[in-house]
């Protein structure tokens, strides 16, 4: 769904989909360790995982990117995604694979 949103020019929805997929993967990973945050929020799972475990540098960078918000330079300016060289969809796919393995098998 994230790639479909991007294909139609909706980068905001693409980022939302990438975050949701990542959060759900983290939720499953934590549930496998009997950790349940008892929240439906994928974003809360990302924040919890980011803040409550020591991660390899790449994983930490991906988690940091997933919690990055759009920014505004002024009150009347447009908001924008500040990480121009980051593909959140690719990073979300990497995170899902790292935590849950190859789901296509």
Mean pLDDT of the chain: 91
Identify the residue whose tokens are 């769904």.
1
> Other C-beta atoms within 10 Å of 88: how many?
24
- Digit-coded pLDDT (tens) for 30-39: 999 999 999 9
| Mean pLDDT value of segment 91-102 | 94
- Digit-coded pLDDT (tens) for 50-70: 999 899 999 999 999 999 988
Which of these, 80, 82, 81, 100, lies nearest to 22 by C-alpha position? 100
- What is the total residue count of the chain? 105
Sign of the alpha-carbon torsion through 29, 51, 83, 76? positive
Domain boundaries, the chain: 2-100
Six token digits for residue 94: 């990497």
Identify the residue whose tokens are 């939302």.
16
Predicted confidence band at 84 (pLDDT cuts at 50, 70, 90)? confident
């Amino acid at each position: 769904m994230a790639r479909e949103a991007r294909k139609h020019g909706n980068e905001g929805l693409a980022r939302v989909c990438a975050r949701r997929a990542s959060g759900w993967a983290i939720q499953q990973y934590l549930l496998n360790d009997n950790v349940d945050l008892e929240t439906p929020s994928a974003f809360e799972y990302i924040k919890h995982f980011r803040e409550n475990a020591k991660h390899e540098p790449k994983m930490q960078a991906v988690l940091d990117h997933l919690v990055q918000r759009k920014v505004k330079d002024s009150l009347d300016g447009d908001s924008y995604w500040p990480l121009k060289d980051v593909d959140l969809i690719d990073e979300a796919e990497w995170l899902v694979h790292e935590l849950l393995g190859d789901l296509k098998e």
